[in-house]
Amino acid sequence: MSDAFEYVFTALRGIQAGREYYLAMCPLRLIPKMFLFDEEELAPQVRAQRTINRARVPEIARYMLDNPKDYVFSAITASVDGTVSFKAINNDNPKVGRLTIPMSARFVINDGQHRRAAVEEALAQCPDFADETISVVLFIDAGLKRSQQMFADLNRHAVRPTRSIGVLYDHRDPLSQLARDIAVEVEVFKGLTEVEKTTISNRSKKLFTLSSIYSSTRRLLRKGPKAEVSSDEAALAKEFWTEVASNMPDWCAAARGEVASAELRSDFIHSHGVALQALAIAGADLLAAHPKTWKKKLQALHKVDWARNNAELWEGRATIGGKVSKAEANVKLTANVLRQTLDVPLGAEDAKAEKRFSSRREAA
């Protein structure tokens, strides 16, 4: 700020669609003061943004507070309704200069309202963030219609990363690290795990997804999101999946290249995420009920008829109308089959679900 009436930023000037825009570095302490969000009580037709999801804000703020040395935010995009001036540093650098914006100008965020709210919340708890900066892309406001179109355009092609690639690149989450280790250290998963996508194409040579290994291992260890994992727990998880694999001949055949992964996915339940999740749920109960003999108990997996066309066993559990379903209810009903196979008693809720399933089947 040069005086009490203006904001002054060192900025870069650019051109998009024939319009000038500016890129500036803004101290975090100014973010809550400068950038406003359209009032939530306004009707959608007269807002330039969606309403803010307040439930997301504490999570983003916590991300900053938990990672003060290596958090990262992308730029905030905003429109400025006011008279701005740009003065180049010199004739040799006409795109680099000082951007002056009157304090009476109105800023409306087009993209980044949750980051703005999280910055405000984080600053309240840790003022040390005040002099750090975030990049801000500023467009000169051309009215509500233009701001609404900017929001639509900015979000039109936004694609959320797949769950698998999120696990692959997340180095803060101990469970993500464990899933990555399992994918390369458990022999049957090595080379058969899709690490980027959450679905496997028909022609793929992969049999498992990293996201499925992650979520299944969470259930095996009965962990919440981002939970810590001890070395003993990590070793147990690797040992469990290794032992499960040794009792799944088809998995081992795929690992040796003796059978096509696509053939297994087409013909068997055990090559889908619903089975991996169910194995983890039943496995957690098995480890608790038989801590000394669980490996021997797992040998009973050889008795399971995993054939997808075994409608008598799987329809309504792992499949609906012949199609594999990974809905939570189907995962639990599939886990019930495995519990019974592994000599693990059903809990009260699982017994009730099993009774309801049997009643529905009889009625049909």
- Domain-wise residue ranges, the chain: 6-156, 163-363
Residue 110: the pLDDT is 81
The pLDDT-based confidence of 246 (bands split at 50, 70, 90) is very high
Query: Which long-range CB contacts under 8 A does 157-162 form with residues at least 24 apart?
Result: 162/196, 162/197, 162/198, 162/211
Long-range contacts of 295-302 (CB under 8 A, 24+ apart): 295/243, 297/342, 297/343, 297/344, 298/243, 298/244, 298/247, 298/342, 299/247, 300/341, 300/342, 300/343, 301/244, 301/247, 301/248, 301/338, 301/341, 301/342, 302/247, 302/249
Token digits of residue 210: 């990293």
Banded model confidence at residue 157, pLDDT cuts 50, 70, 90: low
51 or 203: which leads in pLDDT: 203
Strands 106-111 and 93-102: unpaired
Neighbouring C-beta atoms of residue 259, cutoff 10 Å: 16
Q: Where are the alpha helices (DSSP H) in the chain?
A: 31-34, 57-66, 113-125, 144-156, 163-169, 174-185, 210-221, 231-246, 249-255, 261-267, 273-289, 294-298, 311-314, 328-341, 348-363
Q: Which of 67-71, 140-144, 349-353 has the lowest mean pLDDT?
A: 140-144
Kindly report the average pLDDT of the chain as a whole number: 89
Residue 363 in this model has a pLDDT that exceeds 90: no
Task: Tell whether the model's pLDDT for residue 104 goes beyond 70.
Answer: yes
Q: Are 179 and 167 in contact (CB under 8 A)?
A: yes
Nearest-angstrom CA–CA distance, 335 and 339: 6
What is the three-class DSSP state of 66? helix
pLDDT band at 41 (very low <50, low <70, confident <90, very high): very low
Backbone φ and ψ for 109, nearest 5 degrees, come out as -75, 125
Contact 71, 126 (CB under 8 A): no
Asked if pLDDT for residue 199 goes beyond 80, the answer is yes
